Amino acid sequence: MSPKSTHTNESPQAPQSPLVARRALRDGVYDAILEKLLDGSTPPGSSLGIDSLARELGVSPTPVREALVQMEHTGLVNRVALKGYRVAPPLTPRQVTELFDARTMLELAAVERAAGRAHDLIPELQAAHARHVLAAHRVRKLRGGPDATTMDHSDLREYFAADWEFHLAIIQATDNRFMVQMAESLSAHVHRMRQTVDHGTFDIDQAIAEHTAILAAFESGDPEAPARAMRTHLEGVARRSLDDA
């Protein structure tokens, strides 16, 4: 019997290409700037200097410029001649209405497709709903407790992220990459809109109750119930957002 060969057909892992590394850096810079837009530290109209952002993030100006160009395409920032980039102004009532029109068209279509995969979706939706409820409980506790005046935006960001994850679980259940991409392109505007809402009156109790109804609709087995519950929820959120706009 011949000795076993130590040679394998596995080739060493190829190093990450410069193009992939550059894209990863640009995406990281984009996320970091987006966080600044959403945490209240850069209100509408604030200047976004490329050089100052590059120093703050510890990168070269190139990925910052690329990230800002990408944000300009989504409407999150505006480029002013001879003045550079500025944070876009708050959404107008008409823009809020248009945003929810787009969300309604996308999310009702997603619910109808996801209803056929309810058996696989329900556990994920239950977990997402549980995270949303816990995040809501934390915000309620802080707002009603002795630390209410010192609560920072991180608690609200966690709550809003959990809220969006509930919706995203349904959209991902469509198994349609383009619907997911459309949802992701809208998500930045949804979060941006929330930054301008009066945080003293935002709708935690209503949102939790409406998400509970959506989950119950999927669990009921009625193929039409989820769409009805989602429509009721989106109409409610749109109405409350316009009241605060």
CA distance 227 to 206: 18
Check residue 9 and report its DSSP letter.
S
Supply the range of the domain harboring residue 176: 93-244
pLDDT at 62 over 90: yes
Note whether 141 and 195 are same-domain residues.
yes
Same domain, 119 and 184: yes
Q: Give me the mean pLDDT over the 73-78 stretch.
A: 84
Residue 39 in this model has a pLDDT that exceeds 90: no
Q: Find the CATH number of the domain harbouring 112.
A: 1.20.120.530
pLDDT band at residue 80 under the 50/70/90 scheme: confident
Task: Determine the pLDDT at residue 168.
Answer: 96
Q: Does 50 score more than 50 pLDDT?
A: yes
Is residue 45 assigned to a domain?
A: yes
The answer on 97 and 82 residing in a single domain is: no
**32 assigned to some structural domain:** yes
pLDDT at 153: 62
Q: Mean pLDDT over residues 231-244, rounded?
A: 90
CATH number of the domain bearing residue 29: 1.10.10.10
200 and 220 share a domain? yes
What's the mean pLDDT when you consider all of the chain?
Answer: 84
Give the pLDDT of residue 199.
45
Check residue 203 and give its pLDDT.
84
Inside any domain, residue 181? yes
Mind listing the pLDDT tens digit for each residue in 175-211? 999 999 999 888 878 877 776 654 444 689 999 999 9
Mean pLDDT, rounded, for 98-103:
94
Helix or strand holding residue 85 (H, E): strand 84-87
Q: What's the rounded Cα separation, in Å, for the pair 191 and 164?
A: 9
**Residues 147-167 pLDDT 10s:** 444 455 667 778 888 999 999
Model pTM score: 0.76
The last residue of one of the domains, among 28, 61, 87, is 87
Q: Identify the bridge partners of residue 86 per DSSP, sorted by sequence position.
A: 47, 78
